[in-house]
Amino acid sequence: MDEWHLGPLLAYSATRCSVNTQALIYRVQSAARTTGNLAVICVGLAILGGVPYFLFSDLLGSEGHIRWFSDALQRIRHDPDVIKYVGTPIKGYGDPGSRMARNRTINHTLTRDARGVEHLLIRFYIEGPKDTGTVKLELSKDARGAWHYNYILVEVPGHGRSSWRIVVDTSRPAPPPAWRETLADTQAFIVTEGCRAWHVTKQCSLVAYDHARDWIASFRDR
């Protein structure tokens, strides 16, 4: 075959090969991006799937120290003796070493005595407008698997005098959780502000109606 016949054929083959190579590279890049996205999605789903597990372990698990921390804190917030020395509102936190650790670490220990009874020991700290305090509490598990308070002890520093030791009454029914109080306050606020807004709107509507009626009457009198 003459050389001038081979030239266009070779050029076409080179172009076709370049196009195929570029298409292959594009497919490989697309596959890599898709694989990477799938990997990210799988990791995200794994993390999201683990969140309920950790929440369940902390709140409703066998130890449940976060649950009892919240319950004890609510009892302390409603104790008149604690309010007398610490003030209100009262906030509770874990390790006072750092601000980040306050929200993360609640010291707790799960032990078993010689009779085989499980005990849960928890220590945390409280702070109010008047003073601070250290809370120590102990629970024990009965034969049915239910936890019961043995004591809730609040120690408030005496600042040069003996520390105040307050034993919180655990025989009373537990006060509502903090989120229920917040929800009740929010509902009351919405109802109050809603009624106030309705009253203001009603008054404005009446005033606007009176002005419109006077304006229409002025046209009739002309």
CATH number of the domain that 145 lies in? 3.10.450.320
The residue range of the domain holding 202 is 176-222
139 contact partners, CB below 8 Å, separation of at least 6: 68, 119, 120, 122, 147, 148, 149, 150
Residues 82, 123 within the same domain? yes
- Residue 171: pLDDT band with limits 50, 70, 90: confident
**pLDDT recorded at residue 73:** 94
Q: Tell me which range, 56-65, 148-157, 186-195, is most confidently predicted by mean pLDDT.
A: 148-157
Neighbours of 133 (CB within 10 A): 25
Neighbours of 105 (CB within 10 A): 15
Give the residue with greater pLDDT, 182 vs 97. 97
Residues 144, 208 within the same domain? no
Give the residue with greater pLDDT, 3 vs 141. 141
**Pairing of β 118-127 and β 91-93:** antiparallel
Per-residue pLDDT, averaged over 99-105, amounts to 58
Residues 159, 192 within the same domain? no
Residues 192, 164 within the same domain? no
Q: 170 pLDDT exceeds 70?
A: yes
Q: 72 pLDDT exceeds 80?
A: yes
Residues 47, 148 within the same domain? no
**pLDDT recorded at residue 188:** 47
- DSSP code for 144: T
Q: Tell me which range, 42-46, 69-73, 105-109, 187-191, is most confidently predicted by mean pLDDT.
A: 69-73
- Please answer whether residues 76 and 87 qualify as being in contact, where contact means their C-beta atoms are separated by less than 8 angstroms: no
Q: What share of the chain in percent tops pLDDT 70? A: 50
Residues 122, 171 within the same domain? yes
- DSSP code for 121: E
Give the residue with greater pLDDT, 17 vs 146. 146
Residues 37, 96 within the same domain? no
**pLDDT recorded at residue 96:** 72
Rounded Cα distance between 193 and 216, Å, is: 34
Q: Which of 175, 190, 210 is the last residue of a domain?
A: 175
**pLDDT recorded at residue 120:** 96
Residues 103, 155 within the same domain? yes
* Mean pLDDT score across all residues of the chain: 73
Q: Which of 10, 27, 60 is the last residue of a domain?
A: 60
- Residue 20: pLDDT band with limits 50, 70, 90: low
Q: Which of 60, 79, 111 is the last residue of a domain?
A: 60
Q: 29 pLDDT exceeds 80?
A: no
**Backbone phi, then psi, for 142, in 5-degree steps?**
-85, -175
Residues 71, 145 within the same domain? yes
Residues 108, 144 within the same domain? yes
How long a stretch of residues is the chain? 222
Count structural domains, the chain.
3
Residues 197, 164 within the same domain? no
Residues 29, 125 within the same domain? no
Continuous segment of H or E residues that includes residue 82: helix 80-86
HSE at residue 113, side-chain half, CA atoms within 13 A, is: 10
Q: What share of the chain in percent tops pLDDT 90? A: 37
Rounded Cα distance between 19 and 131, Å, is: 77
Give the residue with greater pLDDT, 137 vs 33. 137
